């Protein structure tokens, strides 16, 4: 079956009203998913932790997300004394807008007919579409950094600084996973990458890239177990401690939209994009018309469910563990894997005759590198063994009362054995003894 994949030449010809419809549809998709994700997250976490989730507002608690939004909108917006007011107000806007803009190049489906116009189910595409997503999402971290700095408080500032180090560390590894996809697909446009996965998804050929990207996208979105910029036990609430009302709601909206964005990008790069999974793909109707929107949404929600699962199951990492994972494991292995992919592509070639051989070699090498990633993470996260105590020469007995007042012993000093004194014998009473006699 031949699928109608869009190309770069198919973009830029839509009338203004069709572009407006697409933009509104993408924005509606991004608003509806966080509303559903917040409710489903609370329901799933309650189910996993054997407790009762939202069940009061609406039938079975289905209107809980709407009630939370109305509550936040009606709360008083408090601006603390001493904040940089302009940056304080702009920070949540800077966090939300890039998260929405990144979805402009995400493909939802093939060419379809809308009111007689043939158009791709995608707002737009660029020759460097994936780099556009990477650049735009990088701007979103400025919202977190500026929120922490402008609040005029210590704990938000620490949360903003943590977020800066976190994004720098994990965006390098994420960018290197993109490089492996670019090498194999031969293009940076999102529609071209989806078309390159017509016969095999990159999750099979580039498994190490998928694993590293899956770990990096959790760190990039500040989600548990990598939610260190808002660690409640250490930073009260992190970078948004001093925010309330709609400004706080915008940070929450940005977090969930970022989750949808990175999940959609993972779907596009590694799970065939909008293409139907096997065996549904065997039917001609599965990858035509409006059906691909369903497959795309289901794949995105698989990743969102994993986000929820991780938050429910894993404790937060220590900051040194988190940095070591990024700099000592993910970045070196992803850089090495890009070199392996390049060598395989040059050594075997990229023509149709060598495609099967190259795919098999890439899949086998990917399994080996993925096992190496698992071993490296296990070595990094395991508890260190306690060193055996060295044999020490016998020390003289330490008298803690030698100076007239008790002194605690220093390391290596031995206290004398403790003796429990017997109670003194009461003196005899001669009068009583004479009376008894």
153-198 residue pLDDT tens: 888 888 888 888 888 888 889 889 999 999 888 899 999 999 999 8
Residue 47 CB neighbour total at 10 angstroms: 12
pLDDT of 348: 81
Q: Say which residue the tokens 């990039």 belong to.
A: 220
Q: Is residue 261 part of a domain?
A: yes
Q: Which pLDDT band holds residue 395 (cuts at 50, 70, 90)?
A: low
Six token digits for residue 329: 């494991």
pLDDT of residue 274: 93
Which residues have CB under 8 Å from 284's CB, separation 6+? 1
Which pLDDT score, from 0 to 100, does residue 436 have? 57
- pTM to 2 decimal places: 0.83
Q: What confidence score (pLDDT) does residue 420 get?
A: 65
pLDDT above 90 covers a percentage of the chain that reads: 31
Residue 70 included in any domain: yes
Residue 35 pLDDT more than 80? yes
Q: Which domain holds residue 197?
A: 15-277+290-381
| Interval 106-135 mean pLDDT | 90
Q: Are 170 and 327 in contact (CB under 8 A)?
A: no
How high is the pLDDT of residue 18? 93
Distance CA(182)–CA(180), nearest Å, equals 5
Q: What is the DSSP string of 188-246?
A: -SHHHHHHHTSSS-HHHHSHHHHHHHHHHHHHHTT-TTS-GGG-HHHHTTGGGTT--HH
Q: What share of the chain is helix, strand, coil (3-state, %, to 5)?
A: 65, 0, 35
pLDDT confidence tier of residue 20, bands split at 50, 70 and 90: very high
Q: How far apart are CA 272 and CA 193, in angstroms?
A: 8
Q: 245-270 and 207-220 helices cross at what angle (nearest 10)?
A: 180
pLDDT for 406 beyond 90: no
Q: In this predicted structure, what is the pLDDT of residue 212? A: 93
pLDDT at 387: 64
In 3D space, the residue among 264, 248, 258 whose CA is nearest the CA of residue 98 turns out to be 258
| Residue-wise DSSP of 331-394 | HHHHHHHHHHHHHHHHHH-SSSTTHHHHHHHHHHHHHHHHHHHHHHHHHHHSPPPPPPPPP-PP
How would you class 421 by CB atoms within 10 Å of its CB: exposed for 0-12, middle for 13-18, buried for 19 or more? exposed
d(C-alpha 287, C-alpha 127), whole Å: 24
Beta bridge partners of 341: none
The conformation of residue 336, written as its DSSP 8-state character, comes to: H
Per-residue model confidence as pLDDT tens digits over 221-254: 888 888 877 776 677 777 888 888 888 889 888 8
320 contact partners, CB below 8 Å, separation of at least 6: none
Indicate whether 1 belongs to any domain.
no
In a domain, 398, yes or no: no
Q: 76: pLDDT confidence band, cut at 50, 70 and 90?
A: confident
Backbone angles phi, psi at 328, to 5 degrees: -100, -15
For residue 337, being part of any structural domain is answered with yes
In a domain, 397, yes or no: no
**What's the number of domains the chain is made of?**
1
Higher pLDDT among residues 410 and 16, named by residue: 16
* Span 299-314, average pLDDT: 93
Is 223 inside any structural domain? yes
**H or E element at residue 114:** strand 111-114
**CA of 19: how far to CAs of 104, 128, 289, in Å?**
11, 20, 19
In-domain check, residue 66: yes
């Amino acid at each position: 079956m031949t699928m109608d994949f869009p190309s770069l030449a198919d973009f830029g010809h839509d009338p203004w009203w069709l572009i407006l419809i697409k933009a509104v549809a993408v924005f509606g998709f991004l608003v509806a998913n966080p509303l559903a994700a917040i409710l489903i997250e609370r329901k799933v976490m309650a189910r996993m932790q054997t407790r009762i989730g939202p069940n009061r507002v609406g039938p079975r608690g289905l209107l809980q997300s709407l009630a939370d939004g109305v509550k936040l909108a009606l709360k008083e917006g408090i601006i603390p004394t001493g904040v940089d007011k302009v940056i304080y107000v702009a920070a949540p806007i800077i966090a939300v807008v890039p998260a929405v803009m990144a979805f402009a190049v995400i493909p939802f489906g093939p060419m379809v007919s809308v009111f007689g116009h043939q158009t791709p189910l995608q707002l737009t595409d660029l020759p460097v579409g994936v780099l556009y997503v990477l650049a735009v999402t990088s701007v979103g971290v400025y919202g977190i950094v500026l929120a922490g700095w402008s609040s005029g408080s210590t704990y938000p500032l620490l949360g903003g600084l943590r977020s800066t180090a976190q994004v720098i560390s994990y965006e390098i590894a994420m960018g290197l996973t993109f490089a492996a996809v670019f090498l194999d697909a031969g293009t940076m446009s999102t529609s071209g990458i989806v078309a390159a996965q017509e016969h095999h998804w990159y999750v099979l050929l580039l498994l190490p890239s998928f694993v590293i990207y899956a770990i990096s996208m959790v760190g990039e979105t500040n989600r548990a177990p990598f939610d260190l910029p808002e660690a409640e036990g250490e930073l009260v609430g992190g970078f948004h401690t001093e925010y309330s009302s709609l400004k706080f709601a915008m940070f929450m909206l940005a977090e969930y939209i970022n989750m949808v964005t990175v999940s959609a990008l993972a779907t596009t790069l590694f799970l065939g994009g909008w293409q139907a999974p096997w065996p549904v793909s065997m039917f001609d109707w599965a990858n035509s018309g409006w059906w691909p929107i369903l497959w795309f949404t289901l794949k995105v929600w698989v990743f969102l469910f994993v986000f929820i699962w991780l938050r429910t199951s894993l404790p937060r990492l220590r900051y040194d563990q988190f940095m070591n994972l990024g700099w000592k494991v993910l970045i070196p292995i992803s850089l090495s894997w890009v070199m392996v992919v390049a060598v395989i592509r040059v050594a075997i070639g990229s023509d149709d005759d060598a495609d099967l051989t190259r795919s098999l070699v890439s899949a086998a090498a990917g399994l080996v590198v993925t096992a190496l990633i698992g071993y490296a993470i296990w070595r990094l996260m395991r508890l260190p063994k306690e060193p055996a105590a060295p044999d020490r020469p016998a020390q003289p007995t330490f008298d803690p009362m030698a100076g007239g007042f008790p002194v605690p012993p220093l390391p290596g000093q031995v206290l004398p054995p403790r003796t429990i004194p017997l109670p003194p014998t009461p003196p005899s009473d001669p009068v009583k003894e004479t009376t008894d006699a």
